[in-house]
Amino acid sequence: VRGKDDTSADMWSLACTVFELITGDFLFEPRKGKNYKKNEDHLALITELLGECPNKKFLLSGKKSDKFYDKEGKLKNIKKLKYWGMKDVLIEKYRLRDFEAVALSDFLLKMLQWEPKNRASA
């Protein structure tokens, strides 16, 4: 439950906005597929960037988790994921210098945590 002083969603949004300002692209741009909906693609894109959620209990605790995840915490309809971490995305796709990619990645990933309680605070 989000308290009135909880800024965790805002921090996630800030990281997405900073990424967009620097690269000119959305961090996540989900699309509907033949066998999956846009929301499931969004979860797949997050997983590819951040890796699997380390806390399966948290992952499966959402009201609609069972629509997207099986009991093992794997996406039901998207099986093949291409993991591509933030630093590598910044270097390979956006041609940032290594030290810039490391610094930006470290900054953004503090806000892009699966569990809101683990995100950097405002």
Range 63-88 average pLDDT: 96
Q: What is the pLDDT of residues 3-62, one digit of tens each?
A: 556 899 999 999 999 999 999 999 999 999 999 999 999 999 999 999 999 999 999 999
| Cα(52)–Cα(58) distance, integer angstroms | 12
| Cα(91)–Cα(97) distance, integer angstroms | 6
Residue 32 half-sphere exposure toward CB, CA atoms < 13 A:
2
φ, ψ for residue 115, nearest 5 deg? -90, 125
Q: Judge whether residue 88 has pLDDT over 70.
A: yes
Higher pLDDT, 4 or 114: 114
At residue 11, the 3 state secondary structure works out as helix
Range 88-99 average pLDDT: 98
pLDDT of residue 4: 55
To the nearest whole percent, how much of the chain has pLDDT over 90? 93
Radius of gyration of the chain (CA): 15
| 8 Å CB contact between 27 and 16 | yes
